[in-house]
Amino acid sequence: MFFLADVQTGFGPFIAVYLTTHAWTQVDIGLVLSVAGLVALAGQMPGGALVDAARSPRWAAALAVVAIGVSALALALWPVFPVVMASRVLHASASCLLGPAIAAISLGLVGHAALGERIGRNVRFASIGAGLSAIAMGASGHFMSSQAVFFITAALVLPTLLVLGRIRLDAAASGGFDRHEEACVAPSSVSSLLTNRPLVMFAVCVLLFHLANAAMLPLMGGVMATRASEWATASIAACMIVPQIVVAACSPWVGRQSAAWGRRPLLMAAFAALALRGLMFAVVTDPYLVVSVQLLDGVSAAVLGVMFPLVVADVTRESGRFNLALGIVGSAMGIGAALSTTMAGYMADHFGRGIAFVALASVAAAGLAVVCLLLPETTQPLKTR
């Protein structure tokens, strides 16, 4: 998870800064990001089904990592519209395999009983990797060029592949089944997943979360690049590092508390933090305050990073369709992320950034309402004395 996060970091808000320095408009940047989101949407369920059917999720993860490296090199060498579009499509397609493959490896290693804590540890290592790579990429972007960010991303593919190669094949071969509990369970039908109310409600929550969240930092990155281009890359790096510190500190705790408290209270906290962050971005202009507001992003990221695979595992237990269900929820994530960047870019260009951030905060508030009113608890909280 440490090296996987390193590889993925370059495809965050750094893209908005990079393209802004090449005279791209916010609408064009939003369009490219939205197309990538639509590809991710189309590929989530096939990607999950492929990992369910794969003999080794480890090999699926390795293939995805190589594709991401190729995408980073293309971005660095040819920042023109057709190449950037193709690069984002390749990255989105690879990510459709990578997420379910890592979740399958984790579930195969520890089973359902220990999954919450295992996911919490995964998120911790991912946040540490993302934070350290954001420092390196921010420094290289500031002292060299924003192009260097993507060369670093491509170089990090090599240690990622080396670590993947050290995972035991027998431990990762379950393809998303709990080998202790589900070895003899026949997979459920796809239609049973689509009529699974807790799964559908959680997918709606994830859609609203990413509709509110996906555009926030890229939009702020564009604002920073316009106002102080020489410091934009370093400022965005700081905005990425701060929440990663929060995530690294809190994720294992979130994993443990999700068993003691249940999933819903933590999800409520994540949506509340996201809504407050959007409102503060609407009025904050000082770079130091922007970085401080990113503490709220750490709260949301810690909760959603753990809850995403954990709630899906809850509602698909003994179904044999864990990775396909991840693909369904991932499709909802893709819809939200794709609409978010285009909506926010359009509103920022035509109505101003303040209105755009208020609209994103309102979507987060709607997600909080769905969690409170419609999402059932998916696990039985532990009784405490």
Alpha carbon 249 to chain centroid distance?
18
| Rounded Cα distance, 219 and 343, in Å | 11
Q: For residue 213, which amino acid is it?
A: N
pLDDT at 137: 67
| Rounded Cα distance, 315 and 142, in Å | 45
Tell me the domain boundaries of the chain.
2-177+191-373
Helix locations, the chain, DSSP H: 2-9, 14-21, 26-53, 57-77, 81-110, 115-143, 148-155, 157-164, 169-172, 190-194, 197-213, 216-227, 229-261, 264-283, 287-315, 322-351, 353-373
Would you give the DSSP letter of residue 243? H
CA atoms within 13 A on the CB side of 13: 26
Angle at 222 between CA 329 and CA 351, to 5 degrees: 85
Taking CA atoms, 298 is separated from 15, 337, 368, in Å, by: 20, 18, 17
Contact yes or no for 341/215 (Cβ under 8 A): yes
Q: Is the dihedral of CA 223, 224, 228, 233 positive or negative?
A: negative
pLDDT at 148: 73
State the residue for tokens 């909506």. 343
Burial of 132 (0-12, 13-18, 19+ CB in 10 A): middle
Per the structure block, which two tokens stand in for 286?
């000082």
CA gyration radius, the chain: 20
| Rounded Cα distance, 305 and 98, in Å | 15
What CATH topology corresponds to 2-177+191-373? Growth Hormone; Chain: A; (1.20.1250)
Torsion angle in degrees (nearest 10) through CA of 332, 336, 339, 341: -140
Q: DSSP labels for 293-334?
A: HHHHHHHHHHHHHHHHHHHHHHHTTTTS-HHHHHHHHHHHHH
pLDDT at 187: 54
Burial 318-353, CB ≥16 within 10 A → b, else e: ebbbbbbbbbbbbbbbbbbbbbbbbbbbebbeeeeb
State the residue for tokens 């701060």. 242
Q: What is the pLDDT of residues 283-324, one digit of tens each?
A: 887 777 888 888 999 899 889 988 888 898 888 876 667 778
pLDDT at 140: 65
* Segments of the chain with pLDDT less than 70: 1-13, 23, 25-26, 52-55, 108-117, 125, 127, 129-131, 133-147, 167-190, 225-233, 318-320, 380-385
Per the structure block, which two tokens stand in for 264?
């819903």
